[in-house]
Every structure is written in structure tokens, then in C-alpha cells.
Amino acid sequence: MRVGFIGLGAMGQAMAQHLVKAGHDVRVWNRTPERARPLVAAGATRAKTVAEACDEAAVVFTMLADDAALIDAVSGGDNEPGIIDGLGEGDVHVSLATISTELSARLTQAHAESGQHFVAAPVFGRPEAAAAARLTIVAAGDDAALARAQPLLEVMGQKVILLGADPPAANLVKLTGNFLIASMTEALAESYALLRKNHIEPKQFLEIVNGNLFRSPIYESYGTLMAERRFTPPGFKLALGLKDVRLLLASADRAAVPMPLGSLVHDHLLSAMARGKGDLDWTALAQVVAEDAGIVDG
Amino acid sequence: MRVGFIGLGAMGQAMAQHLVKAGHDVRVWNRTPERARPLVAAGATRAKTVAEACDEAAVVFTMLADDAALIDAVSGGDNEPGIIDGLGEGDVHVSLATISTELSARLTQAHAESGQHFVAAPVFGRPEAAAAARLTIVAAGDDAALARAQPLLEVMGQKVILLGADPPAANLVKLTGNFLIASMTEALAESYALLRKNHIEPKQFLEIVNGNLFRSPIYESYGTLMAERRFTPPGFKLALGLKDVRLLLASADRAAVPMPLGSLVHDHLLSAMARGKGDLDWTALAQVVAEDAGIVDG
Amino acid sequence: MRVGFIGLGAMGQAMAQHLVKAGHDVRVWNRTPERARPLVAAGATRAKTVAEACDEAAVVFTMLADDAALIDAVSGGDNEPGIIDGLGEGDVHVSLATISTELSARLTQAHAESGQHFVAAPVFGRPEAAAAARLTIVAAGDDAALARAQPLLEVMGQKVILLGADPPAANLVKLTGNFLIASMTEALAESYALLRKNHIEPKQFLEIVNGNLFRSPIYESYGTLMAERRFTPPGFKLALGLKDVRLLLASADRAAVPMPLGSLVHDHLLSAMARGKGDLDWTALAQVVAEDAGIVDG
Amino acid sequence: MRVGFIGLGAMGQAMAQHLVKAGHDVRVWNRTPERARPLVAAGATRAKTVAEACDEAAVVFTMLADDAALIDAVSGGDNEPGIIDGLGEGDVHVSLATISTELSARLTQAHAESGQHFVAAPVFGRPEAAAAARLTIVAAGDDAALARAQPLLEVMGQKVILLGADPPAANLVKLTGNFLIASMTEALAESYALLRKNHIEPKQFLEIVNGNLFRSPIYESYGTLMAERRFTPPGFKLALGLKDVRLLLASADRAAVPMPLGSLVHDHLLSAMARGKGDLDWTALAQVVAEDAGIVDG
């Protein structure tokens, strides 16, 4: 099948490779064109414009950094046609990125007005999981579009969960999942600060509570990074984590749901930004919490 | 071995039974004496006073409701001798309850001044786990005392973790572990409120994030109780959960460690108390969060 | 002088009247045209469109409900010209409303690109103060524009403070001033809840602390409303108060300044919205705080 | 009249002087006896023990640093008699310090059991106000005791407010008043951080909002100290401010009143302690807030 793939960051690269390997005719596009090389080497075609990547493609995927980048790609601009112009009637745009529920709703409507379909299919997992095709993908959109997208998503993830006809629901599930992780990070950060000032090793504590209570691989991996204070290289940049928490709080605001823990995590991540930690892994939230407790690491 | 066991609530009952079954000569005491009956039927001896339960016992266990109850038992009063008076030189007092680090430090000193030993050995697990001898026990105290206590603790728990010579460290690990659980509850509660107002089922969300991300039995059990809003009968009463968070914050205060998430959880549990929910399970914190979002459950 | 005045809510009405009384040729416009009547009766002219209100006016004032309404008025739309189209080169647009610093920056640039001037001149005071010309007005814009606007602003307020050349600075001062008031409300609300549950009258407390400590008319007026629980009719609607706190937090976010008290006030106002209190006075924040403490008012 | 005065810190010194000047026979006691010298020079008598200061005194005042110091003075210890032993039947103990409502209730009962009276009479004002007899004093106790204490209190303060028969009520009013001040400090601190990062002078902002909105001497004095970042010498030490917030939160806890702003102020003051700012003025809370925003002052 001919498919387009727009946005070739660490995640997009890895995911597009699986489509190529599965034998699809993949047209790729990225703002910085060099990033297309490994895919072209593997058999993909480099499109010169977003619209070219969409041309004749039944499905086009986007994996872009934020709402603004996706809006640009969809609408085009400066005499550049965008995805809406490039796709034909009945074609499907699948957004894999973590975007706002508000943009998801707007794109659903915009594509519908052009006789096209929009599917929100955000993914759980880091670049390593993307490379190993072990992502979990949560997809929502109308039945016809999901039917078209699902086999392609299954090439890229080990599990595809269909969430119904409303795309923003998939984005909300993704944002809320990220919030749970950020909350875990905050809880571990405060715990570690307390333990350290009482001369108890965070690592020993983690072994006890995760070994006997949580038994969770995510507590294991995040908790270990934090105990060892390995905040670089980043698995997920703090600046991006803050962006996601902002999107969550915007959704909560619209729904009139106070999320004081969301606000707390936001404020700590924002403090991390102000202290110059935006390029560290987002578990570096723990440094803010430690510094607030007067702990100065060498 | 002759051992004493003081405090026969749901947890104490179950734990003392294992000691009896293992063939020890167990002297039990409880403020409400009727609670001793099942143990006496199983072969234990009912002591008429705390001191009698300690008499000739090499080790005496306490599993009491709070700091105040433990202080009473240790010091006695009104011409009633307490544990300090009842124990001989070289004997060991093992406190299994979740008590403050401050009291733990005081008891360590008080027993030492009487030539006795104090071991803090708080347990992770609910009454069902106690009945099945599947508790995890974290113990700290001097080597001689731990050597004496360990075989007995292994009768009651499936795992005994030795944490070193400083009893308050074990209590701090326990309080901090409880804080992690309370934080998870708060994060799930806020997530569920947001999802419900967006017409997404919490249970479906839990399946996605725990099935693919956390993979934790404790997210599974707590998250399910909360999704089904089954807050009674309580597995762990909200009023007791608040007590533990208070003890944690007192430790944090002494160590000059701000714990804003601890404060948040405290304030929500306190609000639950004020709204008459103290006897519900402590996951009923979720009701406070839902009500704050204007969600009224039938 | 010929001036335009767009937006005739309670505040705009009262302010435009002063311009009419001072002998200016005032062209007024409002989405609901009936609201222009009292002004026309006093000597103003009703404009049929926004652009007509701007026509030949050296200065046009806007006092609109929110960012969206102001954007509509400035840009026009649906073949309706807006303020930018209506004003001539060198003319001045003075925004009196509480708008975002971001919009203020955008309008500064947009007017500059059309050879026009933008002045942000938000006001402190409620409708009664506007009617009595006792407002305090904080104005920022380039020197030429301020020189033109100042005499007109002095007709409407008892005090005009010039803040320099950067319009968003005036908006930020206004938003931050509102934040101080909201924070005072939160502090009084928590205090009152504590006192009431201890059988101490909030009014007696207010007399003591304001009479001897704060000696502030704003503590007096807000504190009395809250002590008497008179939340309707609203002096300033809670929904609008929340809007302003949102704008503040957006500015804080851009500047990487964590404002946890801002987040707290936001979350309580949002909870008030969720509980159906959006049309009450914004001091009804106190009802949320009281309900969280289990206080149920008849 | 013969009166005792126990506790001669900056506040106690100044207050006792007024009693001496008014012609009373004042017996003073302080743990560090040298501090009695200026008072003895003025005509007071130095008591060698607490009990001696109480001997034959119809009223004894205490102005001690914290709950622990007051408990020591009241109960005595180590074969030293305390206030309860020193006072005769019908005599009155007036506590001028900021103590917990819990201790206030206990002392009320303890004195009653000895046929004595307890009056809580906490004061609003700093040492300068004490020296100038411009304190506001809030007193509560039974009628007979208040009648005895009032003329003496009027010698020390410019205003004495009688709050009824329940001593803890006076302590709660004092603690809550301090909470309002701490909340104002937090609000100003967050405002200043936001303004500074937007290149607006806090002092200019303070002039605008206090000159036109709050018109409060306490906003003026605290706001100016904070704008000029003069945190030393301390008018009121941060460590003592934290102590008072702790007492407030303990009262709120007992009354089941969540005070999230109280928790926030507590956490920031605690962070200030952890960062070594305990001996600065308590407005140095602003440094914590600024540092969290990445502002580094020279």
C-alpha cells in the first residue's frame, strides 16, 4: 500500500522503518531532509513536500513535535499545500504524536469537511520500544478509518487498542497516562529526598517497595534512573514532558476538573526549566525536589 | 520459645496465630480480652496484664493502633506495669505497627536504658496477607536483637528484610512506602475524574495503562476498587491512612524536607474526614477529588 | 475630540458616559445595540459597525469581555471591517480591558504595522468606581500615543499611572494585582473555615485583624462580603475571575515562573465552576473552601 | 500590685518595662539572668526561680519562646517548682506568647484544677511596637481573670480586645492572623518573581497596588522589605514564623479543616530552613520563590 510518513524524529524514524520492511511503498518527509536518508536506503521514497508525501497515499502518518508543527503540516502555508490539500477524498490522516485534545477535535472536523478521515493514534513507549516494534498504540477514529489504519499500526506496535470513534479520547488517554508517570516521578522524588536526609539509600528503598509492593517495570526503570541520578542522555526530555502536562491541564480546564497534583507537577517541571534543566530527562524533576530540600549534589 | 503478643486487631490476630501454629508458647494480651479467644482455642495463653504477657518471654511483639496505644503499653500506668517493667534484661521488644520515627527513637533509647533491645519491624500487607503469612516485614535493630527476632518474623511473613541497626529507619521506609501508595491513589483519582467528565470509562483506561505501562498488581487492585467505587468494607480505613500521612509529614518536617505531594494527599484525606468518610477505605480519597470536580455519584 | 468607544458592558457604559459629559464627540458601538441607548440619550452617536465607531476618531477605546471578543473587534471578519481597518494612520487604540499579555503584544505589533498605535490601559475598580470616575488606570504605550490618550483617561479615572512604552507590562500589572486579591480571598476563606469550626465569628476576627493589622479597605469590603456570605449579586463574576487567573498563569508559564499559589487559586475557582458557582461573586471561592472542610451552609 | 514576669526576650523586656514604669512591683525571671539587668535598673526585682517570681503575685505573665519552654516554666522539674506550684489559689497566669491552642486548653484545665486562672493574651506587633506600648492584645479567659489582667494589659498595649471565656480562641485568632500575613508574603513573592522576569520593578508594582488597591501599612512595610530584599536583620525570624504555621496546621488538623495555602506556606518556609535561611526575616520566603523561578540574586 502507498503510505506517507511525515516527521522523522527518533520515534518517527523507527516507526517508518517497520512500514518499509513490511513492504509498503512509503513516502517520507521531514523538515530537515537529511533525516530521510536511512529510510531511503531501506527502500522508502523521499517526498519533496508534505503534499507529495500525501499524493496517492491511502494513509498518511504524522509524528511531529507539537501542536504547532502539526498545524503547519496540515494547513500548509506560504503557497505550500498541506496534508488537507494533498490527501484525496476518503483518505486517512493518522496522527501518532501526543497532541492536545483540542487540536484533535479540530482536525477531526477539518478532515471531515474535506471528505477525509482523521485517526488519533498516540503511542506509549520510548525510541527503543519503537525500534523493537514493542509500542502500545491507542487509536480512535471512525470505523472505516480504523479498519484502514489498524493493519499498518500493527506493523509498528505490539499492541493496538481501539478506543472508539472519537479521536480526542485517544489523546486524552495518552496525556492522562503520561500524567500518571509524572505523578509517580514526583512521589519518588519526594521520597528519595526524605530518605537521603535520613541516610537511607534510595536504591535500597526502591528494591523493597518495588520488589514487594508495586512490582512494576516502570517503577523499576524510572526509580533506578532517579536513584542513580542519571538524567542525561534524556530518554524523554523534560521540556517535552512539561509540554504534555500543559496539554493535560488545558483539557482539565475545559472539563472543569481541578487537578492539583497536575498543577504541582507542572510547577515543578516549570521550575526545572527555569533552573536550566529542560534538556535533561524529565525524571530530573527530582533535582528540583532535592534542591528544595537543601540537598546539593556534586 | 516463650513469646508475648500484645494487640490483637485484625493484623495482630492473624500474625499471632502463625506463632502458635509454629509451636511457640505464646502469651497474648488485648485491651478487649474477648479478642484473645480464637488464639486461646488454638493453644495460646491469655495474659491478664501487659506485664504478664512479657514475663519470661524472650521476645514480645506489639501490634497496636497508634503511637498513644504503644506508649501506654510500654510505660504502663495507674499502678499497671508496662512492657519495660515486664521484660527482663537482654529481652527484645519488636514493634510491628506503623509508628512515628520519633517514638521509635524514644523506645530504642528507653529499652537500652533498661538493658533491653528494641526492634522496629513494620509490615507491608493487608489482613488477608497476614492470614496467609505473605507479609513483607522490614526490620531494624541491633544485631543480637535481630538474630533473636528474625526466625519468629519469618514465621509470620514471607519475606523479612533487615535494614540495619537503626530502628527508626524501618519505620521511615514503611511510612514512605505508604506515601507512594497514597500518591498513586491521588494520581488515579484525578485521572478518573478527568476521564469521567470526558465520557471515558476509568476501567478501560486502567486496563490500558496498567496492562501496558505499569503492570503492577497494586495499580490493578487499587485502581479497580476506585473504578468500581467500592469503598466499603474498608481494606485500610481512611482515618488510619491519614494518621500515617501525618507521621510521614512529621518526619519530613524534622528533616526539613518539603513534601508538597504529601501535603496535598494530607489535605485531601483531611477533607474526606471532614465530609464523613473516615470509615471508608482510604481510596475514598477519590470521592473528594470527584466532588471537587462537580461529580455527584448516586 | 472625536473618539470611538467599543464595548458597553457595565464598565464600558460608565466610562463612556464620562467622555460624553466632558464634551467629546463619542461614537459608541456594542454587539447588543440596545445598550447604546443611555449614551445616545446623553449625547453620544451610535455607530452601526465597529469601523464606523473608528471613523475619523483620533482615539478608539475598547472595553470587551475577553481576548476573543477583542480579536474579533480588531480584525473584523465576514466582510465586516475591524478596528485596524477603521482607524487611520497615526490613530490610537486604547484597550481598557483585562486581556492577556500575549494578545497585548500581538496588537502592539499589528497596529504598528498599520502605522497606528496601541495603548494597554487596564483599570482597577468595580462598576461603582467607574460610575464615580474613581478608577485607577495603568497605561503603557509609546510616548505619542500616551500623550494623546492621557487626557481622555483622566476624564474616566481619578488616577492615571504611566508605566512606559511596553503595553503588555500594563496588562501584567493588572493581572498580578488581581492575583493578589484572589490570594487574599483564598487566605481569608481558609481562615474563616478554621474559625467557624472553632466557633469563632469570622466577622469578629476580621475586625481584629483588619482593624489592627491590615487596615485595608479591600480586606474590609471583601472580608465582610465573605463573612456575611453575600455572594450574589456578583460584583465581579467568578467565571471572569477564573479567566483572569488563567491569563496570569499563561504569562507565568511563558516566563518560567512557578506560581503554586496561582495554581491553587486556579484549582479552587475551577472547582467552583464545576460546582455551579460561576455566576456568583468570585469571593464564592470561600464556599469551595468551606465545603472542603465539611461545612454545609443552609 | 505585685506581678511576676517570666521570659525576657526582646518582646518580654519591652513589655515588662511598661509595668515597672506604671509603678507595679514586678518580679522578673529569665533563664539567662543577665537579661534581667535593665529591668532591675528600672526598679524591678530579680527572682531566683520561677516560683519566686510567682510568690505573692496576683498575676504572673509569661512571654516564652515556644510551647516547650512554657511547659517547663509551668510544671517546673528537677526539684524546681513551677508556676502552678508558685501561684496561690485565685491567682492568674497570663500567657502573652504565640502558643498552640492545644497547650492553651491544657493550661486552662491545669490551672483550674489548682484553683487558679489562665488567660491567653497573645499580642500583635513587633519589638518596636512593644517598646512603644502600641501592641494589640487579644485576651480570653474567665471574667474574673480578665478583670484582673485587663488594666495590666492596657499598660502594655494600646488596644486590648476581650474575646470571651475560652483561652484557646485567643491563640487561634493570633495564629490565624499570622497565617494571613504569611499568605500575603507568598502572594507578593510570586508576584515579584513574575514581574522581575518581565523587567518590571516590584517597587513600582507595590506603589500601584498598595497605593490604589490595598492601602495597607502592612503591605507597605512587608512589600518594601521584599522589594528591596532586606532580609536581615530579621524583624521576625523565619524559623519562628515556621513554628507558628506549624501550630496553625496542627489546629486545622484537629478541626478537620484542609488549609492548602497553609500547607504551601509551610512547605516554602521549610524549604527556606533547608536552604539555610532560618535566621533571616520570614519575608525571605521570597528568596525560595525567586530561586524556584531561576532568579539568582548576587
Residues D46 and D161 in one domain: yes
CA distances from C217 to B171, C134, C224 (A): 51, 14, 10
Type of residue found at B245 = V
Read off the pLDDT of each residue in A2-16 and give the average, rounded to a whole number.
96
**pLDDT of C78 over the 80 cut:** no
Choosing from A139, A165, A191, the residue where a domain stops is: A165
Q: pLDDT tens across A280-295, in order? A: 999 999 999 999 999 9
> Which element (helix H / strand E) includes B161?
strand B157-162
Task: Based on the residue annotation, tell me whether B243 is a catalytic residue of this protein.
Answer: no
Which CATH number characterizes residue D25's domain?
3.40.50.720
Residues B108 and B177 in one domain: no
Q: Which residue of B has its CA nearest to D277?
A: B256
Choosing from B165, B199, B234, the residue where a domain stops is: B165
Chain B CB contacts of C273 below 8 Å: 294
- With contact defined as 3+ CB pairs under 8 Å, the chains touching A are B, C, D
- With contact defined as 3+ CB pairs under 8 Å, the chains touching B are A, C, D
Which CATH number characterizes residue D240's domain?
1.10.1040.10
What is chain A's alpha carbon radius of gyration, rounded to the nearest angstrom? 20
Residues of chain B whose beta carbon is less than 8 angstroms from a beta carbon of chain D are 246, 252-253, 256-260, 263-264, 266-268, 270-271, 273-274
**pLDDT of C76 over the 90 cut:** no
Is residue B53 domain-resident?
Answer: yes
* Contact by Cβ (8 Å): A127, A10: yes
Chain D CB contacts of C195 below 8 Å: 172-173, 176
Nearest CB among D159, D198, D256 relative to C255 is that of: D198
Nearest CB among C246, C253, C267 relative to A260 is that of: C267
Nearest CB among D256, D258, D271 relative to B258 is that of: D271
Whether the bond into A234 is cis, omega within 30 of 0: no
Residues D19 and D152 in one domain: yes
Q: A117 vs chain D: nearest CA distance in angstroms? A: 43
List the single best residue of B200, B236, B270, B292 to mutate versus A (max A Cβ within 10 A).
B200
Q: Cβ–Cβ of C219/D214 closer than 8 Å?
A: yes
Residues paired with C77 in a beta bridge = C80
Which pLDDT score, from 0 to 100, does residue D289 have?
98
Chain D CB contacts of B260 below 8 Å: 263-264, 267
Is residue D259 domain-resident?
Answer: yes
Is residue B221 domain-resident?
Answer: yes
Nearest CB among C274, C292, C294 relative to B294 is that of: C274
Which pLDDT score, from 0 to 100, does residue D107 have?
97
* Contact by Cβ (8 Å): D121, D90: no
Chain D CB contacts of B256 below 8 Å: 270, 273-274
The gap between the terminal CA atoms of chain D, to the nearest Å, is 55
Q: B276 vs chain C: nearest CA distance in angstroms? A: 8
Is residue D297 domain-resident?
Answer: no
List the single best residue of D194, D226, D295 to mutate versus C (max C Cβ within 10 A).
D194
Chain C CB contacts of A259 below 8 Å: 267
Is residue C298 domain-resident?
Answer: no
Q: D80 vs chain B: nearest CA distance in angstroms? A: 24
List the single best residue of A261, A267, A285 to mutate versus C (max C Cβ within 10 A).
A267
A139: phi then psi, degrees, rounded to nearest 5? -120, 140
Residues A161 and A191 in one domain: no
Which pLDDT score, from 0 to 100, does residue D78 have?
74
CA angle D268, D270, D272 (to 5 degrees): 70
Q: D195 vs chain A: nearest CA distance in angstroms? A: 15
**pLDDT of B78 over the 90 cut:** no
List the pLDDT tens digit at each of the 298 positions of chain D: 899 999 999 999 999 999 999 999 999 999 999 999 999 999 999 999 999 999 999 999 999 989 999 999 999 877 789 999 999 999 999 999 999 999 999 999 999 999 999 999 999 988 889 999 999 999 999 999 999 999 999 999 999 999 999 999 999 999 999 999 999 999 999 999 999 999 999 999 999 999 999 999 999 999 999 999 999 999 899 999 999 999 999 999 999 999 999 999 999 999 999 999 999 999 999 999 999 999 988 6
Residues D96 and D228 in one domain: no
Residues D159 and D176 in one domain: no
* Contact by Cβ (8 Å): D64, D93: no
Which pLDDT score, from 0 to 100, does residue D297 have?
83
Q: pLDDT tens across C250-273, in order? A: 999 999 999 999 999 999 999 999
Chain B CB contacts of C276 below 8 Å: 294
List the single best residue of C186, C253, C288 to mutate versus A (max A Cβ within 10 A).
C253
**pLDDT of A272 over the 80 cut:** yes
Nearest CB among D209, D256, D262 relative to C177 is that of: D209
Type of residue found at A180 = L
Q: pLDDT tens across B149-164, in order? A: 999 999 999 999 999 9
Nearest CB among D183, D261, D293 relative to C256 is that of: D293
Choosing from B114, B146, B165, the residue where a domain stops is: B165
The catalytically annotated residue of D48, D159, D174, D197 is D174
Residues B127 and B15 in one domain: yes
Q: Cβ–Cβ of C172/D195 closer than 8 Å?
A: yes
* Contact by Cβ (8 Å): D28, D73: no
Please give the tally of structural domains in chain C. Answer: 2
- Looking at chain D, the number of H-run helices and the number of E-run strands are 14, 9
Which pLDDT score, from 0 to 100, does residue B1 have?
86
Q: B258 vs chain C: nearest CA distance in angstroms? A: 14
Distance between CA D100 and CA D248 in Å, rounded? 8
Which pLDDT score, from 0 to 100, does residue A298 have?
63
C165: phi then psi, degrees, rounded to nearest 5? -90, -10
Type of residue found at A239 = A
Is residue D218 domain-resident?
Answer: yes
Residue D27's SS3 state is: strand
Counting one residue from chain C and one from chain D, the pairs whose CB atoms sit within 8 A come to 179
Residue for grid cell 503554586: C260
Which pLDDT score, from 0 to 100, does residue D126 have?
85
How is residue D164 written as a grid cell? 470571651
Residues C156 and C255 in one domain: no
Is residue B143 domain-resident?
Answer: yes
Residues D179 and D142 in one domain: no
Name the residue range of residue C277's domain. 172-292
**pLDDT of B298 over the 70 cut:** no
Q: Which range (A79-88, C277-286, D171-180) has the least confidence?
A: A79-88
Residues A130 and A211 in one domain: no
Residues A223 and A261 in one domain: yes
**pLDDT of B76 over the 90 cut:** no
Read off the pLDDT of each residue in B250-277 and give the average, rounded to a whole number.
98
- CA proximity to D177, closest of D149, D210, D136, D224: D136
Distance between CA B65 and CA B68 in Å, rounded? 8
Is residue B297 domain-resident?
Answer: no
Residues A193 and A286 in one domain: yes
- CA proximity to C232, closest of C289, C288, C181, C282: C282
**pLDDT of C298 over the 70 cut:** no
Q: C205 vs chain D: nearest CA distance in angstroms? A: 7
**pLDDT of B205 over the 70 cut:** yes
